[in-house]
């Protein structure tokens, strides 16, 4: 049986909020498109570009900044390195001048209000998140390319075969949790060890470790920023940030100067249940408030669910003795493998599967990782992943105003708590008596996704999105 090769750095991507499917994916699609123009020596012959957004990208595109992401991608800016503080000015300049500098080199006329179209009633069959680039050339010829943002920042070009990793040979090919467990039992390795060995197909072990620690640094920086940023989230919902207020309450006036001194105060506060619960919620809220504000986050496995894994990992580091490089690496490797199995067997796109595909998957990833790091067996880790997803089955994606704010931000806090609970249940249980396997719950999740009404799949056409009477000035 063929297998899909997915690296840990495919699951954990550094990018800009608020959505991996609707912001990061379209940004990457625009980059791919302009790169193809350069490779075909066509860039300087382009006189005009129109961008068509279909389906879910159209319906929630304004709230998710899809139009902004496309413009930045066409301009040659990269989501990993672009200064998020300059986004507003850059977009205002394009809008005012009605021109865009493709890849930062070739200027053409471009009016975002006219040249980016939101086709609310049209959808392409392959995936709800579709966008097309229509190009006019100097000689009058036209051509187009279509891309699909399939979740977690992954992008596929129309008629593209494979995922670009067909030639990658892994020591332990894995599509399912049963296959993962097979390799663990055969070798005696932990899940993280199996994954680390597979990562050697892409890079050295030292590079993998360094990259994962960098991912954690980005996550920590996001938590810290979110715990200190105040104000109202953009988009018109008038949602007030809560991470900063909760942080102030829990710190209770104790002085600190940076992340490290703040982290020590968090640890020193004790192990009272409500204290820890509040901090886990604070970590998750902080990340997703940053995400909602076009801040820099890590897909885990998506932007909308970016707060769960950092919150659980910060909990593990602060309250369970996990603040070492080795434990951080172990956690992220384990989490990534569980996420990749969900992607292969179901989806990590809310536009395909509802919020179970985002918060549910992130909670499952975190539960497995926490369990392994706390000393659980491989089977207990997979049991924890199953428990976490089992209690997210059927969760809809119904963002009010098409914004990743309500109910999304609070759902990250709930997903983090569920992950910790799932881990505790698995650690106190014997997998021999489990009636549901992780593969079984993944299959069920996918079947549930297929049965789910489209209005609950990131369209803002159902659920809370239509039952909360709000006057939105910008959405």
Q: 103 with 241, same domain?
A: no
User: Would residue 227 count as lying in a domain?
Assistant: yes
Residue 470 clears pLDDT 90, i.e. is over it = no
Token code pair at residue 263 = 């982290």
Q: How many CB atoms lie within 10 A of CB 461?
A: 18
Residue 471 clears pLDDT 70, i.e. is over it = no
| DSSP class of 239 | P
Q: 133 with 184, same domain?
A: no
User: Would residue 3 count as lying in a domain?
Assistant: no
User: Would residue 473 count as lying in a domain?
Assistant: no
- Over residues 102-146, the pLDDT tens digits come to 999 999 999 999 999 999 999 999 999 999 999 999 999 999 999
User: Would residue 446 count as lying in a domain?
Assistant: yes
Which residue bears the tokens 């055969």?
186
User: Would residue 166 count as lying in a domain?
Assistant: no
* Cα separation values, 182 from 79, 157, 301, 345, 434, Å: 38, 34, 24, 17, 18
Residue 472 clears pLDDT 50, i.e. is over it = no
Last residue of a domain, one of 128, 157, 186: 157
Q: 220 with 186, same domain?
A: yes
> Beta partners for 219?
none
Q: 150 with 213, same domain?
A: no
Q: 212 with 351, same domain?
A: yes
Which residue bears the tokens 């200190």?
228
Domain count across the chain: 2
Ordered DSSP codes for 91-142: HHHHHHHTEEEETTTEEEE--HHHHEEEETT---SS-SEEEEEEEEETTS-E
Q: 206 with 129, same domain?
A: no
Which residue bears the tokens 């800016």?
77
Judge if pTM exceeds 0.85.
yes
Last residue of a domain, one of 124, 157, 190: 157
Residue 161 clears pLDDT 70, i.e. is over it = no
Taking alpha carbons only, the member of 241, 277, 270 closest to residue 254 is: 270
Residue 273 clears pLDDT 60, i.e. is over it = yes
Taking alpha carbons only, the member of 363, 458, 330, 325 closest to residue 404 is: 458
CB 285 within 8 A of CB 413: yes
Of the chain, the percentage scoring pLDDT greater than 70 comes to 97
User: Would residue 370 count as lying in a domain?
Assistant: yes
Q: 29 with 104, same domain?
A: yes
User: Would residue 323 count as lying in a domain?
Assistant: yes
Q: 246 with 109, same domain?
A: no
Q: What is the CATH number of the domain that holds 76?
A: 3.30.1330.90
Q: 364 with 398, same domain?
A: yes
Token code pair at residue 126 = 């392959």
Last residue of a domain, one of 122, 157, 192: 157
Q: 335 with 189, same domain?
A: yes
Residue 475 clears pLDDT 80, i.e. is over it = no
- Over residues 202-252, the pLDDT tens digits come to 999 999 999 999 999 999 999 999 999 999 999 999 999 999 999 999 999
Question: Longest C-alpha distance within the chain, in Å?
Answer: 71
* Domain interval for residue 40: 20-157
Which of the pair, 435 or 162, is modelled with greater confidence? 435
Alpha-carbon distance of 238 to 215, in angstroms, equals 31
User: Would residue 460 count as lying in a domain?
Assistant: yes
Q: 129 with 208, same domain?
A: no
> Beta partners for 119?
54
């Amino acid at each position: 049986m063929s297998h899909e090769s997915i690296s840990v750095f495919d699951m954990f991507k550094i990018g800009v909020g608020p959505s991996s499917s609707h912001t990061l994916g379209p940004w990457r699609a625009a980059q791919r498109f302009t790169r193809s123009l350069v490779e075909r020596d066509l860039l300087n012959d382009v006189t005009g570009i129109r961008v068509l957004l279909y389906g879910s990208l159209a319906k929630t595109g304004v709230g998710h900044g899809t139009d902004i992401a496309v413009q930045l991608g066409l301009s040659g800016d990269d989501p990993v390195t672009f200064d998020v503080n300059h986004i507003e000015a850059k977009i205002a300049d394009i809008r005012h001048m009605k021109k865009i500098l493709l890849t930062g080199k070739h200027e053409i006329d471009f009016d975002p209000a006219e040249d980016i179209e939101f086709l609310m009633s049209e959808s392409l069959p392959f995936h709800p998140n579709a966008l097309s680039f229509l190009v006019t050339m100097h000689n009058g010829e036209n051509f187009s390319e279509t891309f699909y943002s399939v979740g977690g920042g992954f992008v596929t070009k129309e008629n593209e075969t494979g995922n670009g990793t067909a030639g990658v040979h892994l020591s332990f090919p894995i599509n399912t949790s049963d296959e993962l467990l097979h390799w663990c039992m055969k070798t005696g390795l932990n899940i993280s060890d199996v994954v680390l060995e597979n990562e050697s197909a892409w890079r050295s072990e030292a590079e993998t470790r360094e990259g994962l620690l960098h991912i954690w640094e980005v996550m920590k920086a996001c938590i810290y920023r979110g715990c200190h940023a105040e104000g109202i989230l953009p988009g018109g919902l008038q949602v007030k940030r809560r991470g900063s207020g909760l942080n102030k309450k829990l710190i209770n006036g104790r002085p600190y100067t940076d992340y490290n001194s703040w982290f020590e105060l968090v640890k020193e506060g004790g192990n009272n249940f409500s204290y820890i619960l509040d901090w886990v919620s604070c970590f998750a809220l902080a990340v997703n408030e940053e995400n909602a504000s076009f801040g820099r986050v890590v897909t885990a496995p998506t932007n909308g669910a970016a707060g769960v894994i950092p919150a659980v990992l910060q909990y593990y580091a602060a309250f369970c003795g996990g603040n070492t490089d080795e434990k951080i690496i172990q956690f992220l490797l384990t989490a990534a493998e569980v996420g990749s199995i969900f992607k292969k067997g179901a989806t990590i796109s809310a536009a395909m599967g509802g919020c179970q595909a985002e918060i549910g998957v992130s909670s499952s990833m975190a539960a497995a990782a926490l369990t392994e790091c706390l000393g659980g067996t491989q089977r207990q880790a997979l049991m924890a992943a199953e428990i976490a997803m089992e209690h997210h089955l059927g969760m809809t994606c119904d963002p009010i105003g098409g914004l990743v704010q309500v109910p999304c931000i609070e759902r990250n806090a709930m997903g983090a708590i569920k992950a910790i609970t799932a881990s505790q249940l698995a650690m106190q249980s014997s997998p021999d008596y489990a009636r549901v396997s992780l593969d079984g719950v993944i299959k069920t999740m996918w079947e549930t996704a297929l049965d789910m009404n489209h209005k609950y799949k990131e369209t803002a056409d159902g659920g809370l999105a239509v039952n909360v009477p709000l006057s939105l000035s910008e959405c």
